[in-house]
Amino acid sequence: MRRRKRLRFENEPEALIMNSLVDIALSLVIGFIVTIPLFFESGIFVNAPGVAKAAAADVSDIKVNIRLLDDGAILLNEEIVTYEQLTELLPELLARSVARKVIISTDPNVRYEQVITVLDLAKQKGAGQLALLRSRR
């Protein structure tokens, strides 16, 4: 058999080397696999107690502490109030607060319905952050 010789033109480009393109493509894929979780990180942030104390030293903020007792009483910053008084005082306290943080703690036998009602009220009155504290009993 005779071999055919292919005629080469002067302006014809040489064959494309695919090895380097495959290396680049695989490098990009690996880079995307590594960096994608950083972009879609969850929005849960945990503050260390030391950072919170340092931030509190700079700015004095009015805190809203609500404690629900077993007998149905509500303590607002260690003062006994009714639910109606709570609805009136809560917006005033939150208006003077920079962080608008409401901290809610309960006695062990408080019903969830009462806790959710107070959480909902605090959110409606303009609370920016809600925190639930658990007692160590």
In a domain, 34, yes or no: no
Could you list the beta-strand ranges (E) of the chain. 64-68, 74-76, 79-81, 101-106, 129-133
pTM: 0.54
CATH number, position 72: 3.30.420
Domain that holds residue 84: 57-133
Tens-binned pLDDT, residue by residue, of the chain (137 aa): 566 666 555 565 666 667 788 889 999 999 988 888 777 765 545 455 554 454 444 445 667 889 998 888 899 988 899 989 988 988 888 888 888 888 888 888 888 888 889 988 888 888 888 888 876 55
Closest CA to 91 of 56, 123, 115, 129: 123
**Total domains present in the chain:** 1
